[in-house]
Structure 1
C-alpha cells in the first residue's frame, strides 16, 4: 500500500497527459477538444482522491494502536547494491500527517485550477501530480542519496508552474525572474547538501568498509565535532533557503508575484513543509551535537526573520506580497521553536505546520478571488468588500483570525504548545517571539482591515457572488482548521512516537555534555 501511496499521483498525471496528447492529435473538431480537455483534470483529481483515501485508511490504522507505541509501514528494495543505495521507504506517524495534508491541498489546487485559463492542461496536471509524488517521497525516504534526488525533482515542476503558467506584470520581465531565482537558489544550496551527503557516506565507509546512504545507519556513525558541524551546514543551507529565512527569502516573494493562485498554493502549501520536515527528520537526528551548537545562531536568524517580515508587511500594497511576508514570518517562528528542543514544542510544531499551511492556502485563495472581483492586486483598491462580494468578507475575516491564532483554530493550539514548550527552556527568548507575533498581528490587521469598509459607488458596483465551488473550497479548509483546533488529539497521537524519538537525539547530547 505504501508504494501505491507515493506512486499513484504521478501515474495518474502521466495517464492524464497521455490522454491529452492523444486527444489533441486525433480530435480535429473544436467542440470535441473542448469537451475532452477537462479529462487530465478528472484523472488527476481521481487519482489524488484515491490516494487521500488510502492515507486516511492508514491514519485510522495508526490511531487504533497504543498512543506510546511506534507505528510504521516499510518498503526496502535494493537499487544500486554496489553503493549501498536502497529504495528504503518508512511511513511513520509524522510523515503520515504531512502526506495527508499534502494530498488535501493538492485536491484544492486541482479544483481551483479548473477555473483558470490554462494552456497545455495535460502538462499542467502532470507537473502537479509529479510534484505531489516527489514531495511524498521526501516524507518517507530514508536513503539520503534518493532524498537528494527527490529534493531536486521537486524543483522541476515548481519551475514550470511559475514560468509557463504564472502571471506576469508588465515590469516583471527581469533578467532573473521568480522561476530563475528559485532554481538558482535551490541548485547552489542543494550542491552543498550533496557534498555533505557524500562526505558522510565516505566517513562511514572508512569506518565500516561498507557503502550506505541510509540515514538510520548514518545517525550511528561516530564523527568529530568539527566535521559534524561542517556537514550539518550543507544540509542547513538547503533547508534554510527553502523555509525561507531572511536574507534568503527574495526568491519566495518573486515566485508568488509571478505565480497563478494555484502556483502560489503549491509553493506555500507543499514546498515549504519539506524544509521544516527536513530539519526534524534529517538535521537533528544526523547532527544532534552540531544542532545544539548552532541553536543560538539559527534562533537569532529566525527571530530576525519574524520581526523583519512583520515590519515589511506594514508597507505592502500587493495582496500576494503581503501574504508572502506573513508566511515568511510564521515560518521563522516555527524554525525558532524547532531548536528549543522539547516534546511539547515539537508537537506544537507539527500542529502548526498543518495550521499555517492551511491558513495561508486559504489566504491565497482569498487573494485570487479578490483579484477576480477588483481586477487588481492593490490592497488600497479593495474597498467595501462587505457590500460588494457576498460571503467573501466572512471568509477573509476568518482566515485573517486563523493566521493570528484565535482560539478554536488549529493555529491557536499550535501556537500555545510551541510557546509553552519553548518557555520552559528559554523564557526570555519566548517573550521576544511573542512580541514578534504581536507585531505580525498588528501589521496584518492594519493592512487588511480597511478592505471591509469604505465608500462604494452603487452606480458602478453591483453586488457580486462567489461561486459554489469557491465556497466549497474555502469551507473545506475552514472546517479542517476548526476540527484540528477543537480535537488536536487526532494529530498528536499519530505523530507522538516520531516526535519523541527525534527529541531523544537532542536529550542524549545534552546529557552527554
Structure 2
C-alpha cells in the first residue's frame, strides 16, 4: 500500500484534487494566499508528472504506473489508471499549461478569485483523469466533467457580454455529441460485460455493430476536436473566454478528441475506422482549407487563432487516419506542438488585451517600436504556427504528410495547401500588428512584457525549440505504443 501511494501517476492525479479541498477552506478574503497555494499545488503536480516521464520505460507498449481500485466489483467495473507513450505527454502538457493559466490570471482576474482558481485545479484534475483512466466508463465521466469548470470559466470570467451564450454553445454542442457516445458505451458493456480498455481491445464486434458504435463515438470526439461542421462553438468560445480559458481550451481540450480516436475508435473498431477513412479525409481537408481561408477574413485576434486551430486539427485527423507509423506519431507531435504554440499566441493576444482592452486588429500597428521584446516573441510564435523548420510544428506536419503520402498522394497534395495558407495568415497577422506606423491616436500608453509575462512566454519558447530540434526525445517514448496500436488495427 505504501508503494502504491508513491506511484507518481497517482500523486499527479490526486494533487490537484487535494488543492481544491485546501482552497475550499481558505477564506475568500485571503486572495494572495489563495493564489500562492494554487500556484504551489500546480507546480507540485507538474513535478510529479516529470517523475512519470523520468521513470517511464520507452521499450514497452504496456501501461505503466498502473493503479486499480475496486468501485463496482459486482458489475466488473474498476477505477484503473495507467500511462503509455500516447498519454504520457498529454499529462505533461496539462500540468505545464495549468501553471501558465494560474499565472495569467494573477492580476487580470479581480472577481471571485478563489472560485476561479478552484475551477482551474478541478479542470486539471479531470483532464489528468481523462488521459490516464483505463476504463471506458470512467473516461466518459471525466470526459464530461471537463465541461463544468470550462462552462464556468467562460460564463463567469469571460471578457464580453456574449460570454454566457458562448458557454452554453460549448456545453450543448459537446453534451449532445456525448449522449450518443453514452449509448455506445452501454451497448459495448452489454456485449462484453466490462468497460476495461485492455479487455475491450480483445473483444470482437461484428462489422455492422462496429459501424454503429464508431459513429456514436465519432459524434462525441468530432465536436471536441472540433471537425467541420461541428466547429461553430469554438471561435465563439475563444472570443468570449478569458485569456487563461483560451489557453487551456486550445492547449488541452481540443486534444481530447484526437486522443479519443487513438485510444478507442481505432483499436476497438478497426473495420469501421478503415471504412470511414475517406469520410474523415474529406472533413479534414475541408477543415484545413476552409478554416485557413476563413482565418484570413477575421478581424478579431482571438478568432484568427481559433480558426487556425481548426485548420491544424484537420492535419491531426489526417495523420491519425493515415494508419501509418509516421502519420500517427506526426499527429501526436502536432497535437503537442499546437498545445504549446496556440497557447503562446493566445497569451500574446491576452497581453495586448490587458493593456488596450480591444482585440480588433485595425487598432494595432507598429508595435515593434514600443514593444520590441513582445515583437520578438510574437515573431517566433508566428513562425512556429506556420511550421517553420526548427520548430515543433514543422516536424509534426512533415511526419503527417509523409505518412499520408503512403496512403493517398491526392490527399497529401490538398493538405499541403494548408501549409501555404497557414504561412499566409501567420505572416499577414504578424505584419499587421508589428510593422507599420504606430497608431498613437488610439493608445496613449504602451508597456512591453512584464517580468511575469516574460517568464510565462520563455518556457513555451524553449519547449517549442526543444521539440523542433530534438524530436526524438518525444518520438522515442511514442514509438512502441504507436506500433502496438497499428498491430491492433491490422490483427
* Shorter-chain TM-score tier: over 0.9
- What residue is the counterpart of 1:348 in the other structure? 330
Q: Secondary structure at the match of 2:276?
A: helix
Could you list the structure 1 runs, at least 4 aligned residues long, displaced by more than 4 angstroms after superposition.
Answer: 68-71, 457-463
- What residue is the counterpart of 1:28 in the other structure? none
Residue 500 of structure 1 is aligned with which of 480, 483, 487? 483
- What residue is the counterpart of 1:208 in the other structure? none
- What residue is the counterpart of 1:192 in the other structure? 180
Q: How does 1:198-209 map to 2 (within 5 A)?
A: 198-204=186-192
Provide the C-alpha distance between the structure 1 equivalents of 2:332 and 2:283, rounded to a whole number of angstroms. 21
Say if 2:137 is the partner of 1:145: yes
Provide the C-alpha distance between the structure 1 equivalents of 2:357 and 2:373, rounded to a whole number of angstroms. 18
Q: Note the alpha carbon deviations across 1:219-274, whole angstroms, 9 max, x for none.
A: 22222111111011111110000100111111111111111101111111121111
C-alpha displacement at 1:125, in angstroms?
1.1
Q: How does 1:414-453 map to 2 (within 5 A)?
A: 414-453=396-435
- What residue is the counterpart of 1:51 in the other structure? 45
C-alpha displacement at 1:463, in angstroms?
4.9
Provide the C-alpha distance between the structure 2 equivalents of 1:93 and 1:463, rounded to a whole number of angstroms. 45
Residue 248 of structure 2 is aligned with which of 253, 258, 266? 266
Q: Note the alpha carbon deviations across 1:403-447, whole angstroms, 9 max, x for none.
A: 111111111111111111221222221111001221222123223
Q: Note the alpha carbon deviations across 1:317-356, whole angstroms, 9 max, x for none.
A: 1000111001111011111111001111111112111111
- What residue is the counterpart of 1:303 in the other structure? 285
Change over 3 Å in CA distance of 1:139–1:458 after alignment to 2: closer
Say if 2:262 is the partner of 1:280: yes
Provide the C-alpha distance between the structure 1 equivalents of 2:116 and 2:439, rounded to a whole number of angstroms. 40
Change over 3 Å in CA distance of 1:68–1:191 after alignment to 2: closer
Residue 202 of structure 2 is aligned with which of 220, 229, 246? 220
Q: Is the 8 A contact 1:317 1:378 kept in 2?
A: yes
Change over 3 Å in CA distance of 1:452–1:196 after alignment to 2: same
Q: How does 1:119-138 map to 2 (within 5 A)?
A: 119-138=111-130
Say if 2:485 is the partner of 1:490: no
Change over 3 Å in CA distance of 1:69–1:88 after alignment to 2: closer
Q: Secondary structure at the match of 1:405?
A: coil
- What residue is the counterpart of 2:66 in the other structure? 74
Q: Secondary structure at the match of 1:391?
A: helix
RMSD of aligned Cα (Å) = 1.6
- What residue is the counterpart of 1:207 in the other structure? none
- What residue is the counterpart of 2:4 in the other structure? none
Provide the C-alpha distance between the structure 2 equivalents of 1:91 and 1:147, rounded to a whole number of angstroms. 14
Q: Secondary structure at the match of 2:323?
A: coil
Residue 480 of structure 1 is aligned with which of 463, 480, 484? 463
The count of corresponding residues between Structure 1 and Structure 2 is: 483
Provide the C-alpha distance between the structure 2 equivalents of 1:446 and 1:457, rounded to a whole number of angstroms. 18
Provide the C-alpha distance between the structure 1 equivalents of 2:212 and 2:439, rounded to a whole number of angstroms. 62
Residue 105 of structure 1 is aligned with which of 93, 97, 102? 97
- What residue is the counterpart of 1:60 in the other structure? 54
Q: Secondary structure at the match of 2:146?
A: helix
Q: Is the 8 A contact 1:390 1:463 kept in 2?
A: no
Provide the C-alpha distance between the structure 2 equivalents of 1:17 and 1:66, rounded to a whole number of angstroms. 39
Q: Secondary structure at the match of 1:114?
A: helix
C-alpha displacement at 1:70, in angstroms?
4.5
Say if 2:233 is the partner of 1:239: no
Provide the C-alpha distance between the structure 2 equivalents of 1:221 and 1:154, rounded to a whole number of angstroms. 29
Q: Is the 8 A contact 2:184 2:217 kept in 1?
A: yes
Q: Is the 8 A contact 1:388 1:461 kept in 2?
A: no
Q: Secondary structure at the match of 2:70?
A: strand
Bigger Cα Rg:
1
